[in-house]
Structure 1
Amino acid sequence: MNAGDNAAHSSFPPERPSIGLFRVARHLLSLHAQMKQQEKYCNQEIPRILATIVPPEEFSFSSKEIQRLVKYYQLAVNLVSHNLYQLTGHKTNDREERSMLLLSIFLPLFDDLFDNNILEYHRIESLVSDPENYNPINKVDLVVKQLYLQLLALTPHKQYFIDNLQQGLYWEQQSLKQFDKTTGEEELMQITYNKSYFSILLFCSILEHYPDDAIQRVLYPISGLMQLINDLFDVWKDNQNGLYTIPNLYPDYSKIEKLFLNEVASINEQVSAMPYPVQNRSNYLIRIHALNAMGWMSLQQLKTVTRHKSLSELGRKELVCDLDSLGQQVKWIRHVRMLSNYAAIPQPA
């Protein structure tokens, strides 16, 4: 173990051992196998779905674009939809499974309408509020419209779906402030959390069993960390593109580390208080913290490499956390276990 390992481990207070390392490794191995099957399923079904809307010779995705949608699907399914049902003990039906795939195509394309300036904001608002009467002006918004109508026909919570999509659109608009270097830290944090939160609630809207208040509360820190981790992964890319996020505009990594662990403690405490079997709660936390552990490792790397250099002086190799080596993967599994068992140290009265 090197000095970087010791620094990372020392940041954790004594844990409450309840989820063992073997159990974590076994669950993550099972998750890996599921993701391989999901990738195969998406690669087959995504082109078929698109072909029912627009002829392939007129509109199709490249292999790179399909992989983007596959990863989006895997993230949404394994950390939100399936994981939520794993916690509550429900099973997805065919309608829900179909909706998950449709939404995993719809939402990235919907974001592209905004992010890539494909449509003006007022047209996107019109599409959201009145899709039946919306007249597409290009192939992208045509596909988005048709997917949206299919999702509305399938969802058992149509109004929740529309409300969450409208909230997501609002926070996408607010995220334009990430191109402004004067945006305050508190406002930037609010954008970070809410942009992700309403995307997660959108996926919940297609499920038969919409989450209760307790689950909605825990989804807020989960979604905040999810977006923060994405920003940690993308520090180098965002720096190149002039996009300002918490990790590159306010790079106080000790402060981010404290926030990170406080949110982990909050997630663990809230889940432990839920009235579900211990095994359900443990498996839920393992999956949530599978991503958080990757973010934690990326945060530790950024903290280390910026001790003597600024972000602008560092290259991609130094800023991007590589998780492909066996050593890194073993470290990742250990961190998943530590985060899954993490509890904040009680403060003296």
Structure 2
Amino acid sequence: MPPLLAALETGQEESFGPSSVKRFNKYWQLALNVICNSFYDLVGKQLSAGEQQRILLLSIFGPLYDDLFDDNILSHEKIETFTLNPEDHEPGSFKEYVLRKIYLLLLEQAPCREKLLQHMHQVFTWQKASLKQMQPGIEEEELYQITYRKSYYSILLFHSILDHYPSEAISEMLFPMAGLMQLTNDAFDVYKDIQNGIYTIPNHYLDYERIQQKFLHDVAQFNRSLAGLPFIPKAKGNYGITIHALHAMGWMALEQLKENTRGTGDCRALNMLSRKELVCDMDNFPQKLRWVKKVKQLANHQ
């Protein structure tokens, strides 16, 4: 990653600091191993050098694109214009310069320019919609829709830069998978999101029994879709384990929240709980054992 960042920074007075590099690397590890490499293992293919380079580029692009919204770098109208017509955009900041440079490279190298543009605009649409999560009155149904679709189109965006785009059946399987991944992230970020005034399913609707019922429903839907795909059983089993390794952590975080918020009336009362009570610690050995068991349970859930 450092050589690529150095190339992207060429000619600019600014550069990315250690915290940005750490952020890019975390995004890249998830994209490479969980989204792209596991998909290719499932379908019996290997990532080419060109595909790996595009995954790395998009892993830098993603967090910077989020910053356009979160840091109010551009108006929503200008972000949409940039998303649809990056060639015409004149960067007004270092981040915009790097974003435009990466975007043009991806559009040049992607197997289908139009599919990449289509998914980028879908990412824009749901990224913009996610700003409603700053509103305490957001309805549960809309919150679920934003949570699942924002994650789903972000995953499809990565698939659009690969040489082999998923079939319709695989795309359908990816929807519950993506939603549960974002729900997992939200369950781990409850403390941080409360501090930042962001409303998510785990911190806004405290009926964890209901959340877990929906969670298991989507796990079963994912497992059924995976079982129906025309790939060798071992590959499907390995893929399921990889995906549920993340989902299982989400389940455990929800379990901890359910236990520690028992009797809590609303999301405002969560402010009274400590960080230790709200953040799921996965580092101790007993917790890791519970995690391994939960991965197996989810992989076999029907």
Per-residue Cα deviation, 1:314-342 (whole angstroms, up to 9, x for no partner): 11010000001111112111111111111
Unaligned runs of 5+ in 1: 1-44, 344-349
Per the TM alignment, residue 133 of structure 1 is displaced from its structure 2 partner at its CA by 1.9
The list of structure 1 runs, each at least 4 consecutive aligned residues, that deviate by more than 6 angstroms after superposition, is none
Which gives a bigger RCO, structure 1 or 2 (Cα 8 Å, sep 6+)?
1
Q: Tell me the amino acid that sits aligned with residue 123 of structure 1.
A: K
Residue in 2 that maps onto 1:324: 283
Q: Tell me the amino acid that sits aligned with residue 88 of structure 2.
A: N
Per-residue Cα deviation, 1:72-123 (whole angstroms, up to 9, x for no partner): 1111112211111111111111110100000000111011111111111122
Residue in 2 that maps onto 1:178: 133
Q: Tell me the amino acid that sits aligned with residue 340 of structure 1.
A: A
Q: Tell me the amino acid that sits aligned with residue 73 of structure 1.
A: W
Per-residue Cα deviation, 1:218-248 (whole angstroms, up to 9, x for no partner): 1000111111111111111111111111111
For residues 271 and 95 of structure 2, the distance between their equivalents in structure 1, rounded to whole angstroms, comes to 36
- The answer to whether residue 253 in structure 2 is matched with residue 315 in structure 1 is no
Per the TM alignment, residue 55 of structure 1 is displaced from its structure 2 partner at its CA by 3.7
Q: TM-score, normalised by structure 1?
A: 0.83
Match of 2:89 among 129, 134, 137: 134
Q: Tell me the amino acid that sits aligned with residue 321 of structure 1.
A: C
Equivalent positions of 1:46-61 (< 5 A) are: 47-55=2-10, 58-61=13-16
Residue in 2 that maps onto 1:120: 75
For residues 229 and 65 of structure 1, the distance between their equivalents in structure 2, rounded to whole angstroms, comes to 23
Equivalent positions of 1:1-349 (< 5 A) are: 45=1, 47-55=2-10, 58-309=13-264, 310-343=269-302
Residue in 2 that maps onto 1:10: none
For residues 126 and 187 of structure 2, the distance between their equivalents in structure 1, rounded to whole angstroms, comes to 20
Per the TM alignment, residue 57 of structure 1 is displaced from its structure 2 partner at its CA by 7.1
For residues 110 and 323 of structure 1, the distance between their equivalents in structure 2, rounded to whole angstroms, comes to 29
Q: TM-score, normalised by structure 2?
A: 0.96
Per the TM alignment, residue 249 of structure 1 is displaced from its structure 2 partner at its CA by 1.1
For residues 330 and 56 of structure 1, the distance between their equivalents in structure 2, rounded to whole angstroms, comes to 50
Contact persistence 2:12–2:94 (CA under 8 A): no
- Using the aligned pairs only, state the percent identity: 47
Unaligned runs of 5+ in 2: none
* Higher alpha-carbon Rg: 1
Contact persistence 1:50–1:56 (CA under 8 A): no
